[in-house]
Structure 1
Amino acid sequence: MHTAAFLYPWDIVGDPDAAGRIADLGVQQVTLASAYHSTRALTPRHPDRRIVTARHAAVLYPPDAMRWAGRTLRPYTQDWVPGADPFGTALRALTEAGLEVHTWVVLAHNSRLGGEHPSAVVRNVYGDAYPWALCIARGEVREYLVDLAAEAAVRPGARGTELESCGWYGMAHLHAHDKIGGAPLSGAGQYLMSLCFCSVCSDGYTALGIPAAEVRAGVRRALEPLWREGPGAGSRPVAAAPGERAAERDRIEALLGGDLAGVVRTWRDRAARSLQRAAVRAVREAATGEFRVLLHADPAAHRCGANAGVDPADVLAHADGVVVPCTGDDAARADVLGPFADRPAGATVAANLTVVAGMGGSPGTLAADAAHAGSLGANALRLYHGGLAGDGDLAAVRHALRTTAQGLGN
C-alpha cells in the first residue's frame, strides 16, 4: 500500500536531519505544502525553532509575476521560512533522501484574500460574510483558483499533486478564538449555515426556478428552531438513514422540503463539479509526463471544507483519485470509503489517518486502522502529519510501517 506523509516546507528547511528522518519512517512519498492557509504550527525537532506562525495564506515558492500581473485576486508570498523558494529547497532535500514528492495545494480556504475582497466570499443566509471561504460560484474566484491550482501543483521536481478545499468551503472552520459552540450544529445545520447568498449564488437559485428571496426565507425558517430551542432541534438524525452522511442528506431535505433542497443542491453541485474539473484539467495541461492529480474529498456532495464534497463517480471520471478522512472508528471509515468502492482501474483511494496523538490521532493503532481501511477499498495511505508528530508518535508509525505483515510501507 503506497504510503505518504504530509509535511510543510518549514519542517525541512534548516533541519539537515529532517528528510532522512521522514524517509526512515518507511513512507515512499511526501505530500509537501506549496500553497497553504494561515496557521500556527509546531516544529518539535527543528534545531532552531519550535513554532512557525504563517500569518496569512501564501504560496511557498516564487509565483509567476507574468501570470498574476494586473489580477485583483492573486497569491501572496510568505516571509516566515528563509529563502525565496522554501518549497523547492525542501523538495530537493526530500528527493535526495529517496522520497517522491507531490504538492499539497489549498484552494478555496484563504482568509487574507477573503478579508481584502469581501465581495468574493461566501455570505450566509443572514448576510454574514465568511472571509475564510471564497465563493467558488463566482467567476473571478474560479479563475483565480484554477490558475493557482495549475501553478502551485506543477512545481519542478514534483510527481503529482493533492488539491485541498477544491469545492465549497463553509462555516466549519477553526477561526481565531472561535466562540460559536453555544448552539452546536449538526451536519444538516452546518450545511444550512454554509449556504451562500452572495449576488451570484442568489441569481443562480432564481435561474433554477425558485426566487432567491424564497430560498433565503426557507433556509431561515429551517434554522429557526435551532436558535430558539437549542441544539437538539437541529441535530436529530433520520432514524432509517444508513450512515451519517445519508442521515444528514435526508435531514436537509426534511428541513427544507424537496423542491427547495433540490434547487440549492443543483446549484452548488454544478459549481463544485465545474471547479473540480477545471482545476484538474488546468493541472494536467501544465504538467509534463505522468503526473497524478488527487482531490481531498468527502463522498457526500453537501459536505464543505478541506475535504470538499464530491460525487464519487464524477470525481473519479476526471481525477486520478481522492484522499478521504479516515480518522475515527470503523463505522466512520466505512461511511467515507464505501462510496468509492466501485472505482475505475488505476484510481487511488487514499485513507488519510491522523498520527498525532495530541490532535486526536491514534498512531499506536495505525497498523490495524490501515488494514481496516484496506479491507474497505483504500489502496493508499496518507499520514497526517509527519512534521507535527512528536517522537513517540513517529516511533509508533515507524514500527507499524516496518512490521505489518501486509506491508503498509514497501
Structure 2
Amino acid sequence: MNIAYVYPWDVVGDPTSPDRLAALGVKAVALAASYHSTRAATPYHPSHRVLDVPYSAFYLPIRPSSWSRLVPAGPTWTPADAYLQARDALKAAGLQVHAWTVLTHNSHLGTANPDLVVQNAFGDPYPYALCPAHEDVVDYCERLVWEILEVGAPDGLILEACGPLGFGHQSVHEKTSGSDWTPVDADLLSLCFCTACADRYPPTTRARVRAAIDHPLPPKAGTGTHTTTTHTSRGTTKTTVAGPTTTTTVTGGHSSSTNTPSTITVTTTSTTFVTNGPTATGTIDEALGSLTDEVRAIRVDLSTSLRRRLIAVARSTAPNTPITLHANPDPWAAGAFAPLPSGEPEADVLVANCWGDPSADAARLARLKELSVPGQRVGAYVLALPPRPADAATLADHLRTYARAGATEFHLYHAGLASPQRLTALSEALRLHHR
C-alpha cells in the first residue's frame, strides 16, 4: 500500500484536493493530526499560496478534560476541526486516512515548559524537543495518541518523533554551521542531560562529552582522505571519498538528526593530514570510549519505553488500527525517525527515511527489513521535493532500489507541497515501478 502525506490545510477549502490525491495512484493519505511549526507552499489552494504556521498545533477539537499539564494548541490558520473535515473529504474520495502524529517535536510546549525539554551537556535547552524521560511528556504523548484514535477514528496511526530529538533542527535563521562541528559533535550535542536524564548516565559522562567537543586530544598525523564539506542552512552532510583529489556536488543529502534535504559540495584529497582528537576519529563510540555501551543503552531506552507505552495505549483504544513507526536502525538517531536498533514486533509497519543517497537509504531499509518480524511491512519515506528531480524515470529508479532493499510500500512526501509537474512525475514513477 502506498500512502501520500498531506497537511489538513491542503484539503480543507480545496474541493479538488481529494480527487487529485486519489489520481496519484495511492490507496491512503497520511494526514497530519499534530504537527510542528512550518512555512508551507500551497500551490493548489484556491484561497492562498503560502501558509505560515507559527507554532506546533493539534488539528482536532481540543477537549480540556482530555489533557493534564501539557495541553496542545489549536490552529488559527485553519479550522479547529481541520483534521476531521479533511478526513471526511478524503474518505468520500475512497481514500484511507492515517493520522500522521508528531510526538515530542513541539516548540510551543517546550518553550512554555523549559523544565521538560532536552538539554545538552553544557546545559543548553532545545525548546523544540520534549524529553520523554519526564513523565509529563510521556503522559502528554499517551493522551495525544488516545485522543487521535478516539476522536479522529483514523484508518491507521503513524508515529513520528517517538523519542528525544537532538541537536539538529531546522530553526528559523539557523546559525550553527560556522562552528564546524562534525557529525560526531552533533551526536554528542544530542545527548540529553536534563534533570530527568543526567543521573541516569555514569558520573563522568557529562565531563567526557564536554571534553570531547571542547578539548580534543593532541593532534595525531595520519594518511587518508581529507574532506571539505559546504554546509547549507537546511542540513549538514559529511562525505568521505577515497582516491585522488576530486570535487563532487552531492544532492539529496540530509542531516541524520533533521532528515532535511540539502545540497553540498565535497572536496576530497588523498594526502597526509592531522586528525584532531576524539571528534575526528569518526564515531560517537570512539568519543565516549568505555562509557559507550551504557550511554547508548540509556539513550535507546528513552525511545523504547515511550514507543511501547504508546503502542499499548493504541492497542487498548483501537485494537484493529495498524501502527506505523518512523524508525531508524541507528541507535544514536536523534530526529523524527527514532532509534530502533532491535526492531519492534508490535508495530505493523516500519518506515525508514529515504531522502539521501539512494544506496545509503537502501542500506538503512535493508537493516530495518532484517529487524522486522514475519508479517511486518517495511516502508520507504520517499522524497518527491527538491533536490529530487521532477523526473518520473529517476524517481522510478529510486523506487526500484528501495523495493530491492525490502520496501513493500512507499510513503510519499509531500503531495501538498509538490508542484503539478512533480505530482505528475510521482504518479508516473509509481506506474512505471508497478508495470
* TM bracket (short chain): 0.7 to 0.9
Q: 1:328 offset after TM fit, Å?
A: 2.7
Aligned counterpart for 2:333 among listed residues 295, 299, 303: 303
- Structure 1 residues 338-347 or 131-140, which shifts more? 338-347
Residue 215 (str. 1) matches residue 205 (str. 2): yes
**Which is richer in strand?**
2
Does structure 1 retain, via aligned residues, the 8 Å contact 2:31–2:99?
A: yes
TM-score normalised by length of structure 2: 0.83
Does structure 1 retain, via aligned residues, the 8 Å contact 2:70–2:109?
A: yes
2:49 maps to what in 1? 50
Does structure 1 retain, via aligned residues, the 8 Å contact 2:28–2:97?
A: yes
With over 3 angstroms needed to count, the CA separation of the structure-2 counterparts of 1:187 and 1:319, relative to structure 1, is farther
Q: 1:280 offset after TM fit, Å?
A: 1.2
Does structure 2 retain, via aligned residues, the 8 Å contact 1:160–1:291?
A: yes
Local SS of the residue matching 2:127? strand
Take 1:27 and 1:4, find their aligned partners in 2: how far apart are those partners? 6
Residue 348 (str. 1) matches residue 377 (str. 2): yes
Local SS of the residue matching 2:179? coil
Residues 232-243 of structure 1 aligned to structure 2 (within 5 Å): none
Local SS of the residue matching 1:182? helix
Residues 57-136 of structure 1 aligned to structure 2 (within 5 Å): 57-68=56-67, 71-81=68-78, 83-136=79-132
Does structure 1 retain, via aligned residues, the 8 Å contact 2:352–2:368?
A: no
1:339 maps to what in 2? 367
Does structure 2 retain, via aligned residues, the 8 Å contact 1:296–1:307?
A: yes
Q: 1:339 offset after TM fit, Å?
A: 1.2
Q: 1:398 offset after TM fit, Å?
A: 1.7
Q: 1:156 offset after TM fit, Å?
A: 3.7
Does structure 2 retain, via aligned residues, the 8 Å contact 1:122–1:197?
A: yes
Residues 151-300 of structure 1 aligned to structure 2 (within 5 Å): 151-205=147-201, 210-211=202-203, 214-224=204-214, 251-258=283-290, 260-288=291-319, 290-300=320-330
CA deviations 1:111-136 (Å, max 9, x no partner) are 01111111000111111110001111
Take 1:251 and 1:4, find their aligned partners in 2: how far apart are those partners? 35
Local SS of the residue matching 1:31? strand
Take 1:369 and 1:154, find their aligned partners in 2: how far apart are those partners? 37
Q: 1:363 offset after TM fit, Å?
A: 5.0
Q: 1:91 offset after TM fit, Å?
A: 0.7
With over 3 angstroms needed to count, the CA separation of the structure-2 counterparts of 1:31 and 1:274, relative to structure 1, is same
Of structures 1 and 2, the one with the larger relative CO (CA 8 A, separation 6+) is 1
Does structure 2 retain, via aligned residues, the 8 Å contact 1:136–1:271?
A: yes
2:5 maps to what in 1? 6
Take 2:111 and 2:63, find their aligned partners in 1: how far apart are those partners? 23
Aligned counterpart for 1:396 among listed residues 420, 425, 429: 425
Give the AA of the match of 2:74.
T
Take 1:361 and 1:268, find their aligned partners in 2: how far apart are those partners? 37
Take 1:159 and 1:98, find their aligned partners in 2: how far apart are those partners? 12
Q: 1:324 offset after TM fit, Å?
A: 0.9
With over 3 angstroms needed to count, the CA separation of the structure-2 counterparts of 1:236 and 1:159, relative to structure 1, is closer
Q: 1:74 offset after TM fit, Å?
A: 1.4
Give the AA of the match of 1:391.
P
| Percent of aligned pairs sharing the same letter | 37
Local SS of the residue matching 1:166? coil
Take 2:280 and 2:178, find their aligned partners in 1: how far apart are those partners? 21
- Structure 1 residues 49-58 or 337-346, which shifts more? 337-346
Residues 6-25 of structure 1 aligned to structure 2 (within 5 Å): 6-25=5-24
CA deviations 1:346-400 (Å, max 9, x no partner) are 212110111113x546653221111111111111101100000001101101212
Q: 1:80 offset after TM fit, Å?
A: 0.7
Does structure 1 retain, via aligned residues, the 8 Å contact 2:3–2:26?
A: yes
Aligned counterpart for 2:133 among listed residues 129, 132, 137: 137
With over 3 angstroms needed to count, the CA separation of the structure-2 counterparts of 1:154 and 1:400, relative to structure 1, is farther
TM-score normalised by length of structure 1: 0.88
Does structure 2 retain, via aligned residues, the 8 Å contact 1:103–1:155?
A: no
Q: 1:73 offset after TM fit, Å?
A: 1.1
Q: 1:184 offset after TM fit, Å?
A: 3.7
Local SS of the residue matching 1:397? helix
Local SS of the residue matching 1:27? coil
Gaps of 5+ in 2: 220-226, 229-237, 243-254, 257-278
Local SS of the residue matching 2:189? helix
CA deviations 1:134-160 (Å, max 9, x no partner) are 111111111111221222255444111
Number of paired residues?
386
